[in-house]
Structure 1
Amino acid sequence: MAVPRLTVLIPSFNTGPLLRETVAAALGTGVPVLVVIDGSTDGSDAGLESLSPELTVLRLEKNAGKGRAILEGARHAAGLGFSHALCMDADGQHPAAAVPRFAESVAAHPEAAVFGRPVFDDSAPALRVNGRKISNFWANLETLGWGIDDSLFGMRAYPIPPLVEVFGETPFARRFDFDPEVAVRLAWKGVPIINLPTPVRYLTSEEGGVSQFRYVRDNTLLTWMHLRLFLGFLARLPWLVYRGPNPLLHLSPPHDR
């Protein structure tokens, strides 16, 4: 297998000054960075290219959602010769300091997807921390325990070809439903998953924190998504039983599931 080439992929929609800080921190790791501006109207991307020759900026004319931005970014990255994309949120939640650990896992296991397992601090809203347990339960049921420790956490390194393939298998996964649906569909395809404990920080509005999450809208979207995925799981159940467990599950540090 060829030596993997990794880029950090950062989708952004009206993230404000945090975008520049996040991109600068990611560039500081020495890994090339690709930013997808998802129809932003706040001017946060102005002059971004001046940060580094290792930075590529892709601009989408209209806001289409996180999943669509990741898809366009992954396709663009593949065209630039990258084999893997490490997705990071633009709002400062994901630590650039974790990038080298993801890069090491990608280099050791290029066939795998490397998922961050969030390590929350006191800044995390209890509603968000506890609510995600429901999605995690369904994601693991729908994959027969393939090893998705957190279905919603967005800091993940994907091998680009299977990521683009799963996008082609569904018209969904283009907005907030991107992270869990893609995780389940990668598991269905037999892509091994490794989980890395990763700190996460929720910034306050005073710190410039920006959230695109809408409680009613996005939880309704997730409910509909898991209904669809559960039906897909039932259709695939004999194959999922036959193919056995995730071959790299032992590389994920144990925790209380």
Structure 2
Amino acid sequence: MSTPPASTTHLVLIPSYNPGLKVDETVRAARAQWNPVWVVVDGSTDGSVERLQGMAMNDPGLHVIALPTNRGKGGAVLAGIEAASASGFTHVLTMDSDGQHPAELIPRFMAASQAAPDAMVLGLPKFDASAPQIRVQGRRLSNLFADIETLWAGIGDSLYGFRVYPIEPLRTIMRQQPWMRRFDFDPEAAVRLCWAGVRPIQIEAPVRYFRAHEGGVSHFNYARDNLLLSWMHLRLVAGFGVRLPLLAARRVLGRETV
């Protein structure tokens, strides 16, 4: 397999929990677009860790971190960025292991990050007919809260996990916060990074939902995860109230310099 030249600053980070066979396709697609690719296997019990480790034995551009127990998406990302920082990397592109995110756009997102290393590059999802409408409509409320909490700083979609993060600001925030470890990771990371002055750049990207007969696996639980999001936004609204003067001043000064 031909492979892109290895980056010393940017890597693809794929948190993975019991994704089924889709993770194999996802990793191959990501490796065709970028080098290196790291997978954090988050306590999976579906045999994927053994398959991925077998792939990595024959591919120096693929690295597998196997966590002994499930820590949640945010916990897996934190484990990955801690290891990436220790290896000298400065940025990670996160993508889901279930094939929903467009690997072919990895180079474009990485190029945007390399051109603006102080920013985070956030995917703006374009849904097709495969997307469950209850989830498409439901995410609008989370997006509205994220806009309010950041004074419309430009997050776009708070829940879409196809993103490039600068490692050190994200690592600092996650070390300070006991939350951000499960389904609440993506929106809280975007909001808190905005609060820290990391500006968002939006790039449109498609998202595809696979049905069970197509190999799709979903761990989303409507009751549990919506409660988790509600608790997260309660925390963020409280934090927003404290930060409102600073956020307002930042917006005013930003407008004055345009």
**Same fold, judged at TM 0.5 (above):** yes
Equivalent in the alignment of 1:244: 251
* Counterpart Cα distance in 1 of 2:59 and 2:214: 25
Runs of 4 or more consecutive aligned structure 1 residues displaced over 3 Å after TM superposition:
none
How do 1:64-75 residues align onto structure 2 when only pairs under 5 Å count? 64-75=71-82
RMSD, matched Cα: 1.4
TM-score scaled by length of structure 2: 0.92
* Counterpart Cα distance in 2 of 1:245 and 1:215: 39
Letter in 1 for 2:225: D
Deviates more, 1:188-197 or 1:42-51: 42-51
Equivalent in the alignment of 1:254: none
Q: 1:159 aligns with which of 160, 163, 166?
A: 166
Deviation digits for residues 140-160 of structure 1, max 9, x if unmatched?
Answer: 100111111000000000000
* Counterpart Cα distance in 1 of 2:163 and 2:155: 11
* Counterpart Cα distance in 2 of 1:214 and 1:18: 20
Equivalent in the alignment of 1:127: 134
Deviation digits for residues 148-200 of structure 1, max 9, x if unmatched?
Answer: 10000000000000010110221101000000011110000010100110010
Deviation digits for residues 118-159 of structure 1, max 9, x if unmatched?
Answer: 010100000010000000000010011111100000000000
Equivalent in the alignment of 1:234: 241
* Counterpart Cα distance in 1 of 2:143 and 2:253: 17
* Counterpart Cα distance in 1 of 2:8 and 2:189: 21
Q: Does 1:145 align with 2:145?
A: no
The number of equivalent residue pairs is 245
Equivalent in the alignment of 1:54: 61
Question: How much identity, in percent, do the aligned residues show?
Answer: 53
Q: Tell me, yes or no, if the aligned pair for 1:146 and 1:245 is still in contact at 8 Å.
A: no
Equivalent in the alignment of 2:41: 37
Letter in 2 for 1:14: N
Q: 1:85 aligns with which of 92, 101, 104?
A: 92
Equivalent in the alignment of 1:214: 221
Q: 2:195 aligns with which of 188, 192, 210?
A: 188
Provide the secondary structure at the position in 2 that maps to 1:58: strand
Which stretches in structure 1 are left out of the alignment for 5+ residues?
Answer: 248-257
TM-score scaled by length of structure 1: 0.93
Deviation digits for residues 216-255 of structure 1, max 9, x if unmatched?
Answer: 00000000110110010001111111122796xxxxxxxx
Which stretches in structure 2 are left out of the alignment for 5+ residues?
Answer: 1-6
Equivalent in the alignment of 1:252: none
Q: Does 1:18 align with 2:30?
A: no
Which structure shows the bigger proportion of residues in helix conformation? 2
Deviation digits for residues 74-109 of structure 1, max 9, x if unmatched?
Answer: 111111221100000000000110101101101110
Q: 1:174 aligns with which of 181, 199, 206?
A: 181
